[in-house]
Structure 1
Amino acid sequence: MKTLLVSVAASAVLLTGCGTAKKIAALKPEPGNTTDVVYKQTTSFISLPVSVTVADIENQTNKFFAGVVYEDNDMKADDVALKVTKTAPIKFTEKNGKLESIVPIKVNGKVRYGSTVMGVEMYDTREFDLNAKITFSSDVKLTNWKLKTKTAIVELEWIESPSITVAGKKMPVTYLINPAIKLFKSRIEDELDKALSEAIDFKPQVLDAMEAMAKPILTSEQYQTWFRLTPTELYATDAVLAKKQITMNMGLKCTMETTVGQQPKNTFKKDQVQLLAVKTMPEKVTATVAAVSTYENASKMITKNFQGQEFGDGKRKVTVQKVDLWAKDNKLIVALDMTGSLNGTIYLTGIPNYNAVTKEIYFDQMDYVLDTKSALMRTANWMAGGIILKKIQENCRYSVKENLEDGKKAMAPYLNNYSPMPGVFVNGALDGFDFDKVELTSNAMIAFIKATGKINLKVDGLK
């Protein structure tokens, strides 16, 4: 079997005269100094169903659609001047997949009546104030991040009939006002569409949310474990209005990584994100979860595996009293303190791996450190062979089930009504945990597990 670590100094082999027991003193491989571990970036695709309530649309639109919505002071063309003002907040409802709005208005008007006799104008004017309610219906679409609507008046309901008082009598002036309605009808429809477009611009909210989510999250203060999500592209389906809310499926193409050590930099640049239109969106998300296991805890668990067991050949046997683990040159050093026919410490190297069925870390390609093997060849050749090594390797394993649960718990707060910014909430669940790789630091082993699940981003209560 190939040796995995080359000794940097000659070993010292000491023999004792205490019966047949021999003492080995191999050179201890010094620990490495790996403090930062970065999980290799992989591209993931997150489905982010986004919803905005009709109540939020109503709230936002009323900020942009206020005051005078139409004014025409020229009476020469049609004998009427009108000033149309919104008098109260617009009320929105969802009806048959369309956005229905009721706008209360006040019409301040002037009408001119009379005639021209022999080139002489003989006119009089009267002012009037009228109240009305206009019902609009709007088709809803999403174009270039913004809500695009096509609005049309469904009904105009006068609180009282348009009329003026002349010589103590009321005279209807509907015939004068109705043609003018066509003018402000088109204007008020355009103004409402403009207000809706300005009010419901998804871009600032979504990009601000992405920027907040892209900030590295400290998932374990003890082990300085960080999770970072970096968005690269954003996709969106058509907006759909139903059940008192506008929904659309967004898809986030991103890289997700877990690092151990110093806080990683936030590399997200929201001004470079483009919104691309697509028809459908996958529902699942792939993320990575780090299960952290200290060498101290792992050593204790592996030591228990050796209790009550002897390893050897015939009368030559040893018992493992204690196991210590540490990292060096991206390999794991396993130190076994032994008593019996051989006293002292032997050193092994191995590559950690994961058993998905038993949820255990075990060690592949296990071999004696070269210095240890040389010492064994001189003092205990019977132990230097592969049979005992294989039996020892079978006991060098431990469960990381609890560590995986800790990793899931560390991510849970960011999937349970997590609000990266006011009015934006993230919910979801991760399952289907599959092992990816193990990385080694100076004080812990990090098992990286790929998880699949769903994430939902909801916009509720926009400011």
Structure 2
Amino acid sequence: MQKNLSILIIYLITLISITSCSSTSQKIEALRPEPDDAVPLTYTKTPSYINLPVSIKLKDIENKTNSLLSGLIYEDNKIEDDDIEIKVWKQAPITITNDHGKEGEKIKTVLPLKVWVKYRVGTKTLGVELYKTQEFNLNGMVTLLSDVSLVNWRLKSKTTLKSLNWVESPTMTVFGKNMPITYLINPAVSLFKAKIEQSIDSAIEDSMDFKPNVLDAISKISSPFLMSEANKSWFKISPLEIYSTNAKLKNDSFLLNMGLKCYMETLIGNKPESKFDNNKFALKSVDKIPEQISANIAAVSTYQEASKLMNTNFAGQEFGSGSKKVKVQNVAMWHKEGKIVISLDLLGAVNGTVYLNGVPQYNDTTKEIYFDKLDYVLDTKSRLMRTANWLAQGIILKKIEQSCHYSIKQNLDDAKQSMMAYLKNYSPMPGVFINGKMEDIQFQKVELTNQAMIAFIKVNGTVNVAIDGLK
């Protein structure tokens, strides 16, 4: 009886031990794959090209020219050299239109003039001056034609006086004959012809200095734009070069294609620094700029931020079945030798941290980053084979893999929306309005750095810049 009791006790102890062993969690202590050394975040940047077709109405040039050119245009107070004094004023507003001539389209400027003339007739005999002077006021219309080109940020015109038509033609008596005063004045037109041409050229050039406006607009655009307060994501444009075709006159407007070469990025964290320096930008002339914009955007996602997103996928999930189940308590990610290491802190039938690695890929349908050929790191796999073979099996790994993804749809949408903010009647300065449209975002590639994954995306579209009343 005592012997049987001893056997029973031993059996119960063994049973308890076995039961205890089967219900106690197994520990795993795999070697941690250390991340690559942290270095400043650098990655391959692809320039973007933004086309800015500018349309300037002749009416705006007319208004600006009238504000700059007023009052006395020409004055000759010396009568001794040619027996004539002349003062010329702009009498009424200038009109500027398109002249469709045989030589192509040119600016046609009609300038109403008021001319005051003092004319002297007489002789000088034996040192005695016998002169008679008479003053006249005349009204006339000067017609000028201008060729226009773009030179160093300005519309440069070359103006030629084509005709001068007098509204009235008073006469004066010269040696007993009535002579039209315009007949006497017309030879003197050559005196103020060059002055009027120069005045028109100067007024057009001064009214059409693009540099301050363009650089001011680019400076504003290059200031980082907060896309999401919650994610602290920023959209940043870094200008590199500015291009322009020559100005063309078409119908009632000047057409000017400008282009901006720049880098575009979305960044997470504190507001990035804007390093725009307008002193470094020269306007480069080109023959043609494509009509569509091509924006290449780098969406920077740090491993810390990506880990936070992946943690939400594992929340509340269990992997395995029966007594062989684990929960993922925390996810962390980093870069190691061209792959992403994913650490999973486990709690359940297995306690400890396991490490997986894989190559990030992009799912264009779900707009998600996922990891291709995800597998346990070699040391982790060998330890699991010895302690928890069931966890190392493909079916469990496949289920874990399904949670190892995170969406960048919000990043893509934010990037698109931030660009659209510049294309919906955006006015960087008074009188300038930017509108356009964008096509769907195209994913390009993922590039790994020691600190972040960079998703490169491309967007095509069109942009139009309208100038409504130059200031």
Shorter-normalised TM range: 0.7 to 0.9
Greater shift after overlay, 358-367 or 18-27?
18-27
1:129-186 C-alpha deviation (Å, 9 max, x unpaired)? 22222222211111222212121223323232143589xx986312211111122122
Paired residue for 2:296?
287
- Separation in structure 2 between the aligned mates of residue 110 and residue 16 of structure 1, nearest angstrom: 128
1:350-397 C-alpha deviation (Å, 9 max, x unpaired)? 443312244222113533367754653343123224554245324533
Task: Using the aligned pairs only, state the percent identity.
Answer: 43
- Separation in structure 1 between the aligned mates of residue 352 and residue 411 of structure 2, nearest angstrom: 29
Paired residue for 1:274?
282
1:225 aligns with 2:237: no
- Separation in structure 2 between the aligned mates of residue 31 and residue 451 of structure 1, nearest angstrom: 37
- Separation in structure 1 between the aligned mates of residue 449 and residue 309 of structure 2, nearest angstrom: 14
Kindly tell me: are residues 287 and 419 of structure 1, through their superposed partners in 2, closer, same or farther at Cα, counting changes over 3 Å?
A: farther
Deviation at 1:99, TM superposition (A): 1.3
1:174 aligns with 2:174: no
- Separation in structure 1 between the aligned mates of residue 188 and residue 108 of structure 2, nearest angstrom: 24
Kindly tell me: are residues 401 and 217 of structure 1, through their superposed partners in 2, closer, same or farther at Cα, counting changes over 3 Å?
A: closer
- Separation in structure 2 between the aligned mates of residue 273 and residue 129 of structure 1, nearest angstrom: 51
2:312 to 275, 297, 300: 300
Aligned partner of 2:94: which letter?
I
2:331 to 325, 328, 342: 325
2:57 to 53, 58, 66: 53
Greater shift after overlay, 39-48 or 289-298?
289-298
- Separation in structure 1 between the aligned mates of residue 239 and residue 353 of structure 2, nearest angstrom: 48
Deviation at 1:54, TM superposition (A): 1.6
Secondary structure of residue in 2 paired with 1:195: helix
1:65 aligns with 2:72: no
1:268-293 C-alpha deviation (Å, 9 max, x unpaired)? 22222222222112333223163877
Paired residue for 1:103?
111
Secondary structure of residue in 1 paired with 2:296: strand
TM-score, length of structure 1 as denominator length = 0.80
- Separation in structure 2 between the aligned mates of residue 128 and residue 61 of structure 1, nearest angstrom: 28
- Separation in structure 2 between the aligned mates of residue 221 and residue 446 of structure 1, nearest angstrom: 20
1:433 to 436, 442, 447: 442
- Separation in structure 2 between the aligned mates of residue 221 and residue 133 of structure 1, nearest angstrom: 62
Paired residue for 1:238?
246
Paired residue for 2:48?
44
- 8 Å CA contact 1:323–1:334 kept in 2: the answer is no
Deviation at 1:95, TM superposition (A): 3.0
Rg larger in structure? 2
- Separation in structure 1 between the aligned mates of residue 392 and residue 379 of structure 2, nearest angstrom: 12
Higher helix content, 1 or 2: 2
- 8 Å CA contact 1:16–1:23 kept in 2: the answer is no
1:352 aligns with 2:364: no
Paired residue for 1:10?
none
Q: Which runs of 5+ in 2 are unaligned?
A: 1-16
1:321-377 C-alpha deviation (Å, 9 max, x unpaired)? 6675333457463537676xx355654434433122442221135333677546533
Aligned partner of 2:276: which letter?
F
1:393 aligns with 2:395: no
- Separation in structure 2 between the aligned mates of residue 423 and residue 21 of structure 1, nearest angstrom: 76
- Separation in structure 2 between the aligned mates of residue 65 and residue 269 of structure 1, nearest angstrom: 33
- 8 Å CA contact 1:289–1:408 kept in 2: the answer is no
Greater shift after overlay, 65-74 or 362-371?
362-371
- 8 Å CA contact 2:446–2:453 kept in 1: the answer is no
Q: 5 Å matches for 1:2-401?
A: 17=19, 20-21=22-23, 23-26=25-28, 40-96=44-100, 97-116=105-124, 120-164=128-172, 172-283=180-291, 284-288=293-297, 290=299, 295-301=307-313, 311=320, 318=324, 324-329=330-335, 331=340, 333=342, 335=344, 342=349, 344=351, 347-350=354-357, 351-368=359-376, 373=381, 376-386=384-394, 388-401=396-409
- 8 Å CA contact 2:423–2:437 kept in 1: the answer is yes
Aligned partner of 1:333: which letter?
I
Greater shift after overlay, 110-119 or 255-264?
110-119
Q: Which runs of 5+ in 1 are unaligned?
A: 1-14
Deviation at 1:251, TM superposition (A): 2.4
1:419 to 423, 427, 440: 427
Aligned partner of 1:63: which letter?
S
- Separation in structure 1 between the aligned mates of residue 215 and residue 28 of structure 2, nearest angstrom: 59
Deviation at 1:320, TM superposition (A): 6.3
- Separation in structure 2 between the aligned mates of residue 252 and residue 243 of structure 1, nearest angstrom: 26
Aligned partner of 1:23: which letter?
S
TM-score, length of structure 2 as denominator length = 0.79
Greater shift after overlay, 356-365 or 324-333?
324-333
- Separation in structure 2 between the aligned mates of residue 174 and residue 133 of structure 1, nearest angstrom: 13
Aligned partner of 1:52: which letter?
I
Secondary structure of residue in 2 paired with 1:414: coil
- 8 Å CA contact 1:134–1:155 kept in 2: the answer is yes
